């Protein structure tokens, strides 16, 4: 077995690999950039060594520094995690030359499968179903337009060395093709140092289903079932689950066998994933092979009972897998939600900052793979993932219910996050039915995500919750001021709760046997809870139902988050409610004459100058954040009166870029 493993990565995946290494008694080494000096993965390792500035190209992507760190610490092996150098053949060469074990496949597999054009040709030769397309390199935008016309729209424009949704665009006409080619090539160049682009037919109503394989050096290649990864946004996976609710046993076996055939064609050794697009008739087509550990590997681990990282260690050390295909038994259902630092209400723009409050959910069947802690920073320099939340159940319904409950219990403050969006997905009727495609989010949220409205019953329940919370606040204030003794009964009080633009009458009464009855619009809600003022999560039993609500309080004002929905409520006395109609309301500042940066990032380009006239839809500027280019376009006609920022500026959220007359 390996003696000392250096993980050439950061964040949650480094922590995940360290966990298995520690369980096996293997020494660990972390590397870190200046931005990650205080990160969780650094404190989790036995040793840690700095490798340079925050910019990835000068730290986590610097092969020479990683190899030097191995030599300085005596690490005999390197696990690359995913991203960064995980699929870099030159990195593999450098480690081989230094006699350091690479915990991953051989160079042949990395090079051939890392190039989407080459991998498609190999897949065809190995008898794997492939998508029709142009497998040579696209020269320029004119070439791209001609190829796309021949293939027939819609087409998918892809970076040959791409991954993680970067360098990918769907084009449905020539204009989108030319624009998509330009953006995809720019992203590919900045993310992978390789701007080669190819084009293939875009499959309508597709599902994204992948097969987890692992192979040792003795000819044993097996597959561990499939993962459904169809819930995506901008080609980035959001929800993954195992097994797929769509596949039958025949299709599963065929996909698994073809995946193993492809692995054998490149003498694959280690864990890897073969990704497929599956159409409505269960025809499947090879998409790509990832020669590394996948982000979503935990769902496979939960249904298989296997530790994939440990299996990678065994193979890398020259050992044989202890299981064969006939030994694989998949049980139950697992779902993974990717928790990101992003603002779903602002088109999922990345969010950075300090985690002022951070509480992870716990419980049976709940797993959290994270690399953060309360007080830590979410940096602008890297992927915005905070954690992977994974739940397990005997069946899909149980796994979903557990996920929704875990999301309710996941408390994050200091940065914006996508938990409300994830919970909205979990409770969406179409998701519950398993009717999934990679277009799910664009079809079900065509205008972007907005907080779900609460059902009338849930709204009444939330009003009951805020009345009880307000009662606890007043009771504590009375005790602190000496107005109320510990054993004195507080009489019921009538309130008006303003929520959702409506005023609702409510009253509260304490019960001698415990709990309280809150009457909302004439309906009683019997609530028992051990919640205390200041706790961010309100767990309670209402009638025979257990609920979990995230709550923010400010005197008599409350913000509640429940199952993907959000309400703001204010508790008033009857007299205060009557007088509130006479209060003045401050009008918000008019910001329509400014182009504001919607995220922290780098101003890559400005497409207009002072005095230029612009029309709705015109590109005004491009901001790059977390390796993705974001085009900012005009939302109304106007004339540019001033350019307030310069290309190359590091922008803050809502920083003014342009001003209009």
Active-site positions?
A: 288
Task: Report how far residue 258's alpha carbon sits from residue 554's, in angstroms, rounded to the nearest whole number.
Answer: 58
| Strand residues in 530-612 grouped as ranges (E) | 537-542, 545-554, 557-562, 565-572, 594-596, 601-606
Exposed/middle/buried for residue 330 (C-beta within 10 Å: 0-12, 13-18, 19+): middle
Task: Please name every residue paired with 549 in a beta bridge, in sequence order, or none if there are none.
Answer: 538
Q: In b/e form, how buried is each residue of 226-237, taking b as 16+ CB within 10 angstroms?
A: bbbbbbbbebbb
Cβ atoms of 552 and 499 closer than 8 Å: no
| Three-state DSSP class for residue 123 | helix
| Three-state DSSP class for residue 314 | helix
Closest CA to 466 of 510, 501, 424, 508: 508
Residues comprising the chain, all counted: 661
DSSP H helices, 513-645, are: 574-580
Looking only at the bridges linking them, the beta strands covering 385-393 and 601-606 are unpaired
Ramachandran angles phi, psi of 515, nearest 5°: 85, -175
Residues 6+ apart with CB under 8 A from 618: 607, 608, 633, 634
Residues 6+ apart with CB under 8 A from 7: 13, 14, 17, 18, 28, 29, 30, 31, 41, 45, 78, 79, 80, 81
Task: Please name every residue paired with 236 in a beta bridge, in sequence order, or none if there are none.
Answer: 233
Task: Report how far residue 658's alpha carbon sits from residue 632's, in angstroms, rounded to the nearest whole number.
Answer: 11
Task: Report how far residue 384's alpha carbon sits from residue 401's, in angstroms, rounded to the nearest whole number.
Answer: 26
Residues 6+ apart with CB under 8 A from 15: 40, 41, 44, 369, 370, 371
Task: Report residue 281 CA to chain centroid gap.
Answer: 29
DSSP codes of every residue in 358-414: EE---STTEEEEE---TT-EE-TTS--EEEEEEEEESSHHHHHHHHHHHHHT-EEES
Task: Report how far residue 49's alpha carbon sits from residue 70's, in angstroms, rounded to the nearest whole number.
Answer: 9
Task: Report how far residue 195's alpha carbon sits from residue 189's, in angstroms, rounded to the nearest whole number.
Answer: 5
Strand ordering across the sheet containing 594-596: 594-596, 656-660, 638-643, 613-614
If one counts every other C-beta atom within 10 angstroms of the C-beta of residue 23, the result is 11
């Amino acid at each position: 077995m390996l003696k000392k493993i250096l993980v050439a990565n950061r964040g949650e995946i480094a922590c995940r690999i360290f966990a298995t290494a520690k369980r096996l008694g293997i020494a660990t080494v972390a590397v870190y950039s200046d931005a990650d000096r205080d990160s969780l993965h650094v404190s989790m390792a036995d040793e840690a060594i700095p490798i340079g500035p925050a910019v990835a190209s000068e730290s986590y992507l610097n092969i020479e520094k990683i190899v030097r760190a191995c030599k300085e610490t005596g690490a005999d092996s390197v696990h690359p995690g995913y991203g960064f150098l995980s699929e870099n053949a030159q990195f593999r060469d450098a480690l081989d030359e230094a006699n350091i074990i690479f915990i991953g496949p051989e160079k042949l597999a990395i090079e051939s499968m890392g190039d989407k054009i080459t991998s498609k040709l190999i897949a065809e030769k190995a008898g794997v179903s492939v998508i029709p397309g142009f497998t040579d390199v696209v020269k320029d935008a004119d070439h791209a337009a001609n190829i796309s016309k021949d293939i027939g729209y819609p087409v998918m424009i892809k970076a040959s060395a791409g991954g993680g949704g970067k360098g990918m665009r769907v084009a449905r006409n020539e204009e989108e093709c030319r624009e998509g080619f330009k953006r995809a090539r720019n992203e590919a160049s900045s993310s992978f140092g390789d701007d080669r682009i190819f084009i293939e037919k875009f499959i309508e109503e597709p599902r994204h289903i992948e097969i987890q394989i692992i192979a040792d050096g003795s000819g044993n290649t097996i597959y561990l079932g499939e993962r459904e990864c169809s819930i995506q946004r901008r080609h980035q996976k959001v929800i993954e689950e195992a097994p797929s609710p769509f596949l039958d046993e025949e299709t599963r076996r065929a996909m698994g066998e073809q995946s193993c055939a492809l692995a054998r064609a490149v003498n694959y050794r280690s864990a890897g994933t073969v990704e497929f697009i599956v159409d409505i008739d269960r025809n499947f087509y090879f998409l790509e092979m990832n020669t590394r550990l996948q982000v979503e590997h935990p769902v496979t681990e939960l249904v298989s009972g296997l530790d994939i990282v440990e299996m990678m260690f065994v193979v890398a050390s020259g050992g044989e897998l202890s299981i064969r295909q006939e030994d694989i038994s998949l049980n139950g259902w697992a779902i993974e939600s990717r928790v990101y630092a992003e603002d779903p209400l602002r088109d999922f723009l990345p969010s950075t900052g300090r985690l002022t409050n951070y509480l992870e959910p716990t419980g049976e069947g709940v797993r959290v793979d994270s690399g953060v802690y309360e007080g830590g920073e979410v940096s602008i320099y890297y992927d915005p993932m905070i954690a992977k939340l994974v739940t397990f159940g005997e069946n899909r319904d149980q796994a979903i219910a557990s996920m929704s409950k875990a999301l309710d219990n996941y408390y994050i403050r200091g940065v914006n996050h996508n938990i409300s969006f994830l919970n909205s997905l979990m409770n969406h009727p179409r998701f519950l039915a398993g009717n999934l495609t990679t277009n799910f989010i664009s079809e079900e949220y065509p205008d972007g995500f907005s907080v779900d409205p609460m059902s009338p019953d849930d709204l009444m329940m939330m009003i009951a919750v805020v009345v009880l919370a307000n009662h606890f606040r007043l009771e504590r204030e009375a005790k602190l001021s000496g107005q109320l003794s510990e054993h004195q009964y507080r009489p019921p009080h009538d309130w008006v709760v303003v929520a959702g633009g409506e005023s609702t009458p409510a009253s509260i009464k304490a019960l001698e046997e415990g709990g309280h009855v809150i009457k909302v619009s004439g309906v009683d809600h019997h609530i028992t809870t051990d919640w205390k003022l200041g706790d961010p999560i309100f767990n309670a039993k209402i009638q025979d139902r257990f609920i979990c609500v995230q709550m923010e309080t400010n005197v008599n004002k409350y913000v509640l988050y429940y199952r993907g929905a959000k309400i703001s409520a204010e508790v008033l006395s009857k007299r205060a409610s009557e007088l509130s109609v006479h209060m003045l309301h401050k009008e918000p500042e008019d910001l329509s004459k400014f182009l504001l940066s919607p995220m922290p990032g780098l101003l890559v380009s400005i497409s207009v100058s002072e005095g230029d006239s612009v029309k709705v839809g015109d590109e005004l500027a491009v901001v790059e954040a977390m390796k993705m280019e974001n085009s900012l376009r005009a939302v109304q006609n106007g004339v540019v009166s001033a350019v307030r920022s310069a290309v190359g500026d590091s922008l803050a959220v809502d920083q003014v870029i342009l001003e209009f007359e």
